Amino acid sequence: MDPYIREHNIERNDIANAGTVASLTKRALKQRGLSREFIKQVTIGVYEAEINVVIHSYGGTANVAIDDDFVEITFQDKGPGIENIEQALQAGYSTASSYAIENGFGAGMGLPNIQAVSDEMDLQSSENGTYLRIKFNIKEDSYEH
């Protein structure tokens, strides 16, 4: 199948549209015949990463690439960055704003969940922004049968 490549902008604090990248990616994966279980893992990862850009950053982009062998999504935002990545990866750690908490976020489970569902995760951050790449390998049993 032809590779699927999309770039999306993600706006700061735009909770109303958060989830758009996840749902468009989900649709593309369905069209390629991937299994519900595989799609669920990818959707969880993309959704959590997308929400993080919305609620913790000044805005950014998501690049989605789907090929025969993998799904890879890279998120790049404009800061303020993560001071201590090791700490941020710990379950329950959160600096979510009261606005984010009022909207149901801030359990400190997004990054641990992304790590759990993905095959590869690369997280880099400075005060200029955060880069997150997550990858899911597509195997024979990733398809609906």
Ligand X SMILES: Nc1ncnc2c1ncn2[C@@H]1O[C@H](COP(=O)(O)OP(=O)(O)OP(=O)(O)O)[C@@H](O)[C@H]1O
Which residues here bind ligand X, judged by CB under 6 A? 48, 52-53, 56-57, 77, 81-82, 88, 93-96, 105-112, 130
When CB distances to ligand X are compared, the closest residue is 110
Give me the 24-63 binding string for Mg ion, x by CB under 5 A, dash otherwise: ----------------------------x-----------
- Is 31 or 87 the residue whose CB approaches ligand X more closely? 87
As beta bridge partners, residue 126 has: 129
Helix/strand/coil for 37: helix
Site for Mg ion in 76-135 (CB under 5 A): 110
Give the Cα-Cα-Cα angle 136, 119, 135 (nearest 5 degrees).
Answer: 40
Cα distances (angstroms) measured from residue 21 to each of 27, 28, 109: 10, 11, 19
CB 122 to ligand X: min, Å: 13
Helix/strand/coil for 43: helix
